[in-house]
Amino acid sequence: MKRFYLSSKKGISGICKYSRDFYELVLKERGYVFIDSSDLSSDILSTISSRDHVHIEVGIFQRKEIEILFLMLKANYKNVTITMHDAPLLKYPFYTFKSPLLNGVSKFYEKYASSMGAAIPYVKKIKAIYALTNKGVDAIKRKYGVDNVYYLPHIVNPAETKKSAANNSDFIYFGFIGRNKGIEYSLKLHQQLINKHPDSNFHVVGKPLGKEVQFYETLKERYRKNVHFYGYLEEDQLDEVFDRAMFAFIPFNNYRFFWPASGSILYSLKKGKIVITNNVNSISEIIENQRNGFMLSGDTRKDIKNISEIISDKPLLEKVKEDVYDYMMTKHSPEEVKKSFKD
């Protein structure tokens, strides 16, 4: 029985970056052969037999991976395991249409009715399902009625993990730009913070997708003072901008349908940033308030007061930097992931 890993290492998404690290640091030494999901489905299925073991990365936007997953399950492949990012929303490919109206209907079905739909018999054929949050594990078990679901820590490359050398009041936002990310609230807070901390700058790194392009342009027009919009940056440019800031401002809106692990927060922690975020979704599984980061309350006055005090408390900040580094090296190391990922 051969072992294969199906995903994509090309691209700018968090899953692509995750796949590169997961394969190089965990799967490669176990004898897995990497197969790029962009290959023809027929070529992939002719390479992997029904007796081979294959692990697949599955996320909301991984349509090709999910298409191949269901083709394998329909063909009774017995040794298929997956990591379900964005659990428990398994995007079922049979409901994609050219018509916006039909797509709207299919999205409604996926969100509200798929727990009783055609996906469940196939999901039950999966040998093992991994989720990157404990809340995601519970949600998958409830939605699909399966027990073979396990928590897998989000892997972080220790060679890329460092302590921040910055000692200022600059902030960075890193991730896709969208209304559901809560970025505008952080920009509002910063515009008021600079009244007391006039040297504070806000570095916004990320690109919008689709209809969020207009939202991004509006932000650029509305928030100009001490704010720098970079768009998408390559890795070497990204390091340079991250080094300018001491804090990462990454709030989110509350997601109603899934429990993802925040790649943006983990990436910022890896870079040694002190993360300021809010207690929604699965963030409390990563950030412990006042230990390896800080939580926003949603009350503007209270948040401005608290952040201003944090900026001025240098001993506290140095302690948090140490805790951030220790947390990443212990909780998200390849060794920790290897313990949880069972062949």
- Domain with residue 234: its CATH number is 3.40.50.2000
Q: What is the DSSP letter of 48?
A: S
Q: What whole-number distance in Å separates Cα of residue 65 and Cα of residue 75?
A: 15
Q: What whole-number distance in Å separates Cα of residue 290 and Cα of residue 316?
A: 9
Mean pLDDT of 146-174: 93
pLDDT at 302: 96
Which tokens is 36 given? Answer: 């790029």
pLDDT bucket at 160, cuts 50 / 70 / 90: very high
- Tell me: do 100 and 43 sit in the same domain: yes
3-state class (DSSP) for residue 83? strand
- Tell me: do 129 and 228 sit in the same domain: no
Average pLDDT, the chain: 89
Torsion of CA 20, 25, 27, 28, to 10 degrees: 90
pLDDT bucket at 342, cuts 50 / 70 / 90: confident
Q: Give the pLDDT confidence of 8-38 residue by residue, as tens digits.
A: 887 767 888 899 999 999 999 999 999 999 8
Kindly report which listed range (93-107, 195-209, 242-256) carries the lowest average pLDDT score. 93-107
Q: Which of 152, 174, 202 is the last residue of a domain?
A: 152
- Tell me: do 166 and 307 sit in the same domain: yes
Examine residue 162 and state whether it is found in any structural domain, yes or no.
yes
pLDDT bucket at 257, cuts 50 / 70 / 90: confident
Mean pLDDT of 50-62: 92
Q: Which of 128, 152, 176 is the last residue of a domain?
A: 152
| CATH number, domain with residue 74 | 3.40.50
Q: Which of 99, 121, 152 is the last residue of a domain?
A: 152
Q: What residues does 128 pair with on adjacent strands?
A: 81
pLDDT at 328: 95
- Tell me: do 131 and 171 sit in the same domain: no
Whose tokens are 């090309």? That residue is: 10
pLDDT at 193: 95
Examine residue 337 and state whether it is found in any structural domain, yes or no.
no
- Tell me: do 65 and 193 sit in the same domain: no
pLDDT at 36: 94
- Tell me: do 52 and 199 sit in the same domain: no
- For the chain, the domain total comes to 2
- Tell me: do 80 and 166 sit in the same domain: no
pLDDT at 93: 46
pLDDT at 286: 95
Report the DSSP pairing between strands 293-296 and 171-174. unpaired
Examine residue 165 and state whether it is found in any structural domain, yes or no.
yes
pLDDT bucket at 151, cuts 50 / 70 / 90: very high
Q: Is the pLDDT of residue 108 over 50?
A: no
* Residue span of the structural domain in which 195 resides: 158-331
Exposure pattern of 312-338 as b/e (b: 16+ CB <10 Å)? eeeeebeebbebbbebbeebbbbebbb
Return the number of other C-beta atoms located less than 10 Å from residue 288's C-beta.
13
Q: What residues does 55 pair with on adjacent strands?
A: 5, 81
Q: What whole-number distance in Å separates Cα of residue 119 and Cα of residue 108?
A: 15
pLDDT at 336: 95
Which tokens is 315 given? Answer: 């001993």
- Tell me: do 171 and 107 sit in the same domain: no
Q: Check residues 110 and 47 and name the one with the higher pLDDT.
A: 47
pLDDT bucket at 166, cuts 50 / 70 / 90: confident
Kindly report which listed range (129-133, 227-231, 236-240) carries the lowest average pLDDT score. 236-240
- Tell me: do 206 and 288 sit in the same domain: yes
- Tell me: do 39 and 181 sit in the same domain: no
Q: Give the pLDDT confidence of 175-187 residue by residue, as tens digits.
A: 889 887 889 999 9
Q: Is the pLDDT of residue 279 over 80?
A: yes
Examine residue 41 and state whether it is found in any structural domain, yes or no.
yes
